[in-house]
Amino acid sequence: MITALLLFWPALAALLVLLIKGQGAKKVAFVAALVEFALAIVATTGFNAADGSMQYELNLPWVESAGIGFHIGMDGISLLMVLLTTFLVPLIILSAFKHDYKDPNIFYALILFMQTGLIGVFVALDAFVFYFFWEVALIPIYFVAAIWGGVNRIKVTFKFFVYTIFGSLFMLAAFVYLYFQTTGTGIANHSSDVQAFYQLALSAESQSWIFWFLFIAFAIKMPVFPFHTWQPDTYTESPTQATMLLSGIMLKMGIYGVLRWLLPVVPMGVSQWDELVLILSIIGIIYASVIAIRQHDLKRLIAYSSIAHVGLIAAGIFTLNEQGLQGGVIQMLSHGINVTGLFFIIDIIYRRTNTREITSLGGITQNAKTLSIFFMILLLGSVALPLTNGFVGEFLLLMGVYQYNAWFGAVAGLTIILGAVYMLRMFQGVMFGTKSEVTEGFTDLTMNEKAVLIPLVIMVFWIGLFPNTFLSISEPAVMNLMTIINR
Amino acid sequence: MTSIILLSVFGIINLFVGFMKSKKILLPLALLFLVVVFGTNLLSWNNGQTYFNNMLTIDNYAVAFTGIMVLTTLFILPFSQRYIDAEDENLAEYYSILLFSLVGAIMMVAFENMIMLFVGVEILSIAMYVLAGSNKRSLRSNEAALKYFLMGSFFTGVLLFGIVLIYGATGSFNITEISAANVMADGTTNTMFILGLLILIIGISFKISAAPFHFWAPDVYEGTPTLFTTFMATVVKTAGVAAFYKLMHSAFGDSITAWYPTMIAITVLTLVVGNIGAVIQPSVKRMLAYSSISHAGYLLMTIVAFNDLSDNAIFFYSLSYAVASVMSFGVLKLVSDERRDESFAAFNGLGKTNPLLAFVMTVSMFSLAGIPLTAGFFGKLFVFSAVVATGNLMWLVVLAVILAAIGIYYYIKVVIAMYMQPAGENTKVPVSSFATLVLIICTVLTILLGIVPGLVSDIL
């Protein structure tokens, strides 16, 4: 029941927000998002962390004659993703308080509506429900990015939209195929339930091509090299809130999809192609890191760093060992928190100086001490310094990759060095040095901005110091997943 | 059967009412007639009967498709407001012709005898030739009517030729008897039968604008007044596809080997031509014309699927497509009437000037593109499911998926124009309250079926 509430509350709130004229919409949206977060906390407190199976399940008939059920529920992995989503969305809305977007009611309604899509993806336990929400999450973010975005927004978001739908349609075709391989219960001959998919015993040959149909959809969303070409432009051109949603939460849809719908469904397909996926991911890590070093635009730099980080997550989960999978789950949280914070700081700087060029910035530390501290913490989290959240995830991921293949581990480990290079180079260029013309009158953080950054920074340390709070939630689910994969 | 009689009588009544001075009564009257027909049609549900010595069978299949077509006509008529405002002297004739043409359409989905199929096709086609040229002073409308008439008559001849050859081979016009004759049963090749079958397929392919017999469609759709283009893209196409489906499954189900390769070739070509052709169109109307070709392709996929899922798939797809088409053509008509332009630029800034129209158009584009939350998604899902269930046509689904992705490209162009381009000199488009109501009903229906498709997804 609470799953359904979590799922539909944002959509209902979106309708409410739509009716509010003027800038009051953002306040209502913020409160609605907080309520949603409270719901997620309630769900967490009632959650039995020792149990790796699905909890809070709800299974209603949807297209009954076809065996398609509206089946939702959460295990530890889903719960963490739901927590991440519900934690970030209020902050993302709060971060927009200083902006006066035109048509605010539509803007905030779309964000809340997208939250329904995101939650739906994370709690779906039926293939067609999953696909349904997968696309439902895309439509609002497309409009947010394409209407409120930068100069080149139309061309860029067009590519983003067509590219991602192109991938998801392959996933749909694969789901339809898998659906017909299942044996259902009741009046329907087939079932699209996740458990029915897990019980499939397909030939290695069909698993092989289904793997690619599913993988393309997820790889485009993440994005994994070489399916990443839409990403830097879209992140750069979108309004900051959309960029935060895309990088903080939406790309986790792709990773989550791999965990729930790819690895356990076609394990033989995975074992045929995992090496290639790891190679692609590691190429992506190095490639994106090197490009990030060469970037002058702050938003583009973080966009490329995001590709590098996601590459490591992808590499980790495709190792199929416990460290890799657990590392992937915890790193999804960490990356979501860090990248959201970093994009927000870039937005703060941009709003005060009207530029995102590293070369025209400098000396901000002298004026804005608090900003510098927050920036530094989030940045260190991102470069995986011990005691920060990034360290836990990257350590586990690299350990996983190392166990899979020591050479892969060694090359992927370069991400730590390269990450430090581009991040510190950025920090140096933006924050240190002499003041430039535009940073002359730079003011420190306002209350509103602190309100966004403080929760994020707390999370950086929480995950960094006590990762077990979160690892213990996902562990039974990950073990369960591994049993299904190795069946 | 009652529907056919009622529609004929109502058509005539409508003509006579047209002699009255005021044309205001005509639209409500025609709508009332259609509501009555829609209601009486539903009475035949689960109450199938044959009429005229086995010439017509009103079974659930016929009732379902008659329902779609009557409902669609009901939705289309309110967009004729401009004809009423302009006091068009032929208004009563237009309504009557539409009612009469529905009679033909119903015959096409209820035929038991190929003579009835032919009569139905003719009633529908001749009505369409007239309506295509109804804008008498427009060169393009005249061109459309002439093109449609010449091509249409030629292919009606082809259709008749096919029917006659089948008659020669099997000795019957009755589809049950043709099926029972089973001339292909013992593995023999009956040349006359196969030739007749292929010619028949060509004849109907033309009527539903399936490639490679689609070349008339973009020009005719573009030249015909938008009100009647809507009718062509919805009712005529639904009737054609439903008749095609019924014919192939009831009469030629046992001789599947004879037509299967041809049918697959036509399906693939239609999908490719429709989707690729739509990409390069400069005008929304032509884009929609090509898109309607592509949808004929998706509908044809149910014919090649040929299993127990395809009945419901073709019904659901036809319904979702018809409703979405009424919305898209309806908005196009309102916008192009006001802005005298059918290009993408005519839609610039519609999100600002007419938020409701823009929203309706967006839902319709998403439904045609098959994006979730709309009926079109489940339409595509059911059609693809039916094809996958055959077991050996996965490649066709993959092809259709790729083409559907291309489809998103041209549908989203309209959305971009509406929301992301500045309005410029475009002003608010006036919309009559009747048309607003219809658009809202269609939008609600599309979203409703996109969330709870179970309402109608397994009625056949």
Residue B169's nearest CA partner among B142, B196, B193 is: B193
Question: Which residue range(s) make up the domain with A365?
Answer: 276-487
pLDDT mean over B74-97: 84
In a domain, A322, yes or no: yes
Strand partners, B58: B49
| Contacts with B402 from chain A: Cβ below 8 Å | 166, 169
Which candidate from A62, A162, A173 shows the least CB-CB separation from B397? A173
Pairwise CB contact (< 8 Å): B405 & A169: yes
Mean per-residue pLDDT, A213-234: 90
Pick the residue from chain A with its C-alpha nearest to B313: A66
User: Is B388's CB within 8 Å of A63's CB?
Assistant: no
Predicted confidence (pLDDT) at residue B137 exceeds the cutoff of 90: no
Tens digit of each residue's pLDDT (9 = 90 or more) over A4-16 = 989 999 999 999 9
Which long-range contacts link B451-454 to residues 24+ away (Cβ below 8 Å)?
Answer: B451/B373, B452/A62, B453/A63, B453/B316, B453/B375, B453/B378, B453/B382, B454/A61, B454/A62, B454/A63, B454/A64, B454/A65
Q: DSSP assignment, residue B236?
A: I
Enumerate residues 6+ apart whose C-beta is below 8 A from B339: B346, B426, B429
* Residue of A65, A136, A173 with shortest CB distance to B458: A65
Strand boundaries in B47-122, DSSP class E: 49-51, 56-58
DSSP, collapsed to helix, strand or coil, labels residue B371 as: coil
3-state SS assignment for residue B79: helix
Contact A217, A168 (CB under 8 A): yes
Task: Please name the member of B388, B391, B404 whose beta carbon is closest to the beta carbon of A176.
Answer: B388
Residue B375: closest CA among chain A residues belongs to which residue? A132
Mutate to test the interface with A, among B373, B410, B452 (most CBs of A within 10 A): B373
Contacts for A328 with CB less than 8 Å, ≥ 6 apart: A255, A259, A313, A316, A317, A393, A397
What is the per-residue pLDDT for A385? 87
Q: What is the pLDDT, as a whole number, of residue A31?
A: 92
Phi then psi dihedrals of residue B91, to 5 deg: -55, -45
Q: Answer yes or no: is pLDDT of A37 > 90.
A: yes
Give the model's pLDDT for residue B74: 93
Neighbours of B64 (CB within 10 A): 24
Q: For A93-149, write each residue's pLDDT tens digit.
A: 998 888 888 888 888 999 999 999 999 999 999 999 999 999 999 999 999 988 888
Share the mean pLDDT of chain B.
89
Q: Please answer yes or no on whether A176 and B397 come within 8 Å at the CB atom.
A: yes
**DSSP helix/strand/coil, A437:** coil
Asked if B258 and B252 touch (Cβ cutoff 8 Å), the reply is: yes
Instruction: Say if residue A484 is exposed, middle or buried (CB neighbours under 10 Å; 0-12, 13-18, 19+).
Output: middle
Partner residues linked to A201 by β-bridges: none
Q: What is the largest CA-CA distance in chain A?
A: 74
Check pLDDT > 90 for residue A53.
Answer: no
- Of B388, B404, B408, which has the smallest distance from its Cβ to A180's Cβ? B388
Main-chain dihedrals φ then ψ at residue B425, nearest 5 degrees: -90, 0
Query: For chain B, which residues lie within 8 Å of any Cβ of chain A, measuring from their own Cβ?
Result: 366, 371-373, 377-378, 381, 384-385, 388-389, 391, 394, 397-398, 401-402, 404-405, 408-409, 412, 416, 419-421, 452-454, 457-458
Any domain includes A473: yes
pLDDT band at B46 (very low <50, low <70, confident <90, very high): confident
Q: Who's near B344: CB < 8 A, 6+ residues apart?
A: B282, B283, B284, B413, B414, B417
Each residue's pLDDT tens digit, B293-346: 999 999 999 999 888 888 889 999 999 999 999 999 999 999 988 888 888 888
- In chain B, which residues have their Cβ closer than 8 Å to the Cβ of A128? 381
Of B389, B454, B458, the CB nearest to A180: B389
| Residue entry with tokens 């488009």 | B429
Tell me the pLDDT band of B176, cut-offs 50, 70 and 90.
confident
Mutation for B interface: A176, A208, A214, most B CBs within 10 A:
A176
Report the run of H or E that residue A62 belongs to, with start and end: strand A55-63
For residue B459, the chain A residues in CB contact (below 8 A) are none
> Which of the residues B311, B394, B414 would you substitute to probe the A interface, choosing the one with the greatest number of A C-beta atoms within 10 Å?
B394
How many domains does chain A divide into?
Answer: 1
pTM of the model: 0.91
Alpha-carbon gap, residue A330 to A292, rounded angstroms: 24
CA atoms within 13 A on the CB side of A11: 14
Convert the pLDDT of each residue in B206-229 to its tens digit: 989 998 898 899 999 999 999 999
Count interface pairs A-B at CB distance under 8 A.
84
* A186 has pLDDT over 70: no
Question: How many other CB atoms are found less than 10 A from the CB of residue A446?
Answer: 11
Residues of B in contact with A139 (CB under 8 A): 366, 371, 373
Q: Please check whether residue B151 is in contact with residue B216, taking contact to mean a CB–CB distance below 8 angstroms.
A: yes
Kindly tell me if the per-residue pLDDT of B23 is higher than 80: no
**Contact across the interface for A136 and B457, Cβ inside 8 Å:** no
What is the token pair recorded at A44?
């967490």
Residues of chain B above pLDDT 90, percent: 52
Asked if residue B242 has pLDDT above 90, the reply is: yes
- In this prediction, residue A184 has a pLDDT band, given cuts at 50, 70 and 90, of low
For A269-320, what is each residue's pLDDT tens digit? 888 898 999 999 999 999 999 999 988 889 999 999 999 999 999 999 999 8
Give CA–CA dist A233/A154, Å, rounded: 11
Q: Do B454 and A63 touch (CB under 8 A)?
A: yes
Cβ separation A63–B453 shorter than 8 A: yes
Q: Which residues of A touch B421 (CB under 8 A)?
A: 154
Q: Among A74, A87, A41, A50, which residue's Cα sits nearest to residue A333?
A: A87
Averaged pLDDT for residues B84-92: 78
Tell me whether residue A229 is in a domain: no
Q: Are B268 and B399 in contact (CB under 8 A)?
A: yes
Token pair listed for B67: 């329902």
* B204 contacts B111 by C-beta, under 8 angstroms: no
